[in-house]
Amino acid sequence: MIVMRERSIVPGVVLLFLAAWFGFAVALAKHYGLDVSLGVSTGLQAAIAALAGISGAIYFLLSDNLGPSLKAAQLLVVLGICCFLLGSWYGLFVAPPETYMGQVQRIMYVHVPTAWNALLAITFGFVAAVVFLFRSDWKWDARLEASIEVGVLLCFLLCCQGAIWAKPTWGVWWDWDPRLTTTAVLLFAFLGILALRRFVEDPLRRAVWSAVATIIAYVDVPIVYFSVKWWNSLHQQQSSPQTVSSQFYLPLRMNAFGVLFIMTGFIMLRSRIARERVEQELAPPLPVQGEMQEAV
């Protein structure tokens, strides 16, 4: 059955704190004339923030049981919402509008974080699928279901935001550029997997089949990307922090970590639900009232 291991919440919190500190707190303090960088250079700060953020999220995702309640996941969601609100406030009211695109560009502060985190969620789902096929551990099936569902949600949001941004900028809602098209294909592929999970009643078959389908669909993503890239291309080139002023990347990072925390919390909550359901399905049926009395 499903084995649960108790784990301490402390390392995860430390990692996320490091991420938030070097990700945006340093830059935010600098904006107000404070230096809290502890002598770490800018490039190193970004590296530490990204590593600590992702490993902190992974720590939370991989810990089966952080105490008896769902406090950890709820805490993450609240923390994420705080980061996200802060980042959105900064992005909407503090950061200056961009020279060429004007106010429209501000959607980048949610669009890019959504894209990063959608990819992270789907990748985590792929890892969960591979681990499930090797280990046949139900925890990984629950994680697969949770991360695919959250990933699909993020992909859907990504497509909507992309369309909202594309209309005033390119003049069309949709364009057949590699990243857009790949996101759409990804969305439909994983929606198909979610539908498959709904239609298979046997929990073992459902787990194995959706893991297989996830692996196949994930392998497809780079091929779709390159084939559409050859076919047609228009999307913006990625900018690096060197080419962007700190006022632009600050809200971006706050939102990135905000969405990351919310996503992690959601995946934790959702995988708890999935796990409970599998437990219920795998449990032997309760004896009927009459039989019990006979047995007594």
Chain positions contacting other proteins, by CB under 8 A: 133, 181, 185-186, 188-189, 191-193, 195-196, 199-200, 208-209, 211-213, 215-217, 219-220, 223-224, 226-228, 230-231
Toward other proteins, which CB reaches closer, 202 or 291?
202
Query: 65 — phi, psi (to 5°)?
Result: -145, 105
Nearer to other proteins, 71 or 205 (CB): 205
In the bound state with other proteins, the residue whose beta carbon lies nearer, of 89 and 226, is: 226
Q: How far is the CB of 199 from other proteins (least distance, A)?
A: 5
Q: Give, as one character, the DSSP assignment of residue 64.
A: S
Q: Which is nearer to other proteins, 105 or 181 (CB)?
A: 181
Residue closer to other proteins by CB (options 15, 278) is 278
Question: For 102, left (φ over 0), alpha (ψ -120 to 50), or beta?
Answer: left
Cα of first residue to Cα of last residue in the chain, in angstroms, is 28
Closest approach of Cβ 272 to other proteins, in Å?
26
Nearest distance in Å: CB 200, other proteins: 7
| Nearest distance from C-beta of residue 188 to other proteins, angstroms | 4
Planar angle of CA 140, 142, 143, nearest 5 degrees: 60
Residue identified by tokens 């047995």 is 295
DSSP 8-state symbol, 136:
-
Q: Would you say 218 or 249 has its CB closer to other proteins?
A: 218
CB of 132 to other proteins, least distance (A): 10
Distance (Å, whole) CA 185 – CA 226: 13
Smallest separation (angstroms) from other proteins to the CB of 38: 47
Cα(57)–Cα(85) distance, rounded to whole angstroms?
A: 19
Could you tell me the CA-to-CA distances from 37 to 30, 32, 244, 258 in Å, in that order? 9, 13, 20, 21
Query: CB-based contacts of 168: which residues, under 8 Å, 6+ apart?
Result: 104
